[in-house]
Copies of this chain bind each other. A is one copy, B any other.
Amino acid sequence: MSGRDLEAAKDLEVYRRQGLGGSLGRQPPFGLLVVDFVRGFADPAQLGGGNIAQAIEASVPLLAAARAQGWPIAHSRIVYADDASDHNVFSEKIPGMRVLHEEADASQFVPQLAPMAGELVVRKTAPSAFFGTALAPWLTARGVRTLLVAGCTTSGCVRASVVDAMSWGFRPIVVEDCVGDRAIGPHDANLFDMRSKYADVAPWNAVAESIGIAA
């Protein structure tokens, strides 16, 4: 065991002792949020990398199942104005996002997960899909109680959206194989945080089984 692994083991021990990591159960009705699966984040040469490509592929059956179930489905994208009028602290911190304009190739949804008519498209300029958007009222008006979350990046917009989903009164389930990040260390660390404090975290086949539908 490396020093780091020992530390991780000790971390788990304090979390267990303090009662973190419990499950939120499975409270219907369900909804699905797909965070920022756009071309720029699918491409390692732009803002992607790591396990994002696999998470996109793993999300195809998840999205199909959500549609078959008739769940409310929302998809978020980062979109900055062409004239840079809405630049903010986030785009100042990460200048690479400033190219994510409405019509830019990098900010188009990946084709295998393209929204269908009637699914909500959330344009945002902050990490959380709930921040500065009408996502929370949209889910509330549709009666959603538990929100499955897929998307990228795990350590960025997924994490921020999951914390907000919980804060806004929804029970988040992070679909583990359907979230990805440009680097595995932050991916794992954020799954650990979310599982401990904010959400259930499980792969799609386990989630599907737990709510009694086909994966």
Identify which of A56-64, A106-114, A115-123, A202-210 touches chain B. Answer: A115-123
Is A85 within 8 A of B117, CB to CB? Answer: yes
Q: How far is the CA of A185 from the CA of B118 in the complex (A)?
A: 38
- Is there a chain B Cβ closer than 8 Å to A51's Cβ? no
Q: How far is the CA of A139 from the CA of B143 in the complex (A)?
A: 11
* Count of A interface residues, CB-CB < 8 Å: 78
Is A168 within 8 A of B183, CB to CB? Answer: no
1/0 contact string of A156-185 vs chain B (CB within 8 Å) = 100110011011111110000000001111
Q: How far is the CA of A119 from the CA of B140 in the complex (A)?
A: 20
Q: How far is the CA of A46 from the CA of B19 in the complex (A)?
A: 10
In A53-92, the 8 Å CB interface with B consists of 81, 83-86, 88-90, 92
Residue of B nearest to A50 (CB): B14
Please give, as numbers and ranges, the residues of chain B lying within 8 Å of A118 by CB-CB distance: 83-85
Is A22 within 8 A of B132, CB to CB? Answer: no
Of the residues B121, B140, B167, contact of A127 by C-beta under 8 Å: B167
Q: How far is the CA of A102 from the CA of B100 in the complex (A)?
A: 19
Q: How far is the CA of A92 from the CA of B120 in the complex (A)?
A: 17
Residue of B nearest to A84 (CB): B118
Is B19 within 8 A of A183, CB to CB? Answer: no
Q: How far is the CA of A132 from the CA of B182 in the complex (A)?
A: 29
Is B197 within 8 A of A127, CB to CB? Answer: yes
Q: How far is the CA of A198 from the CA of B94 in the complex (A)?
A: 8
Is A127 within 8 A of B163, CB to CB? Answer: yes
In A118-147, the 8 Å CB interface with B consists of 118-121, 125-128, 131-134, 136-141, 143, 145
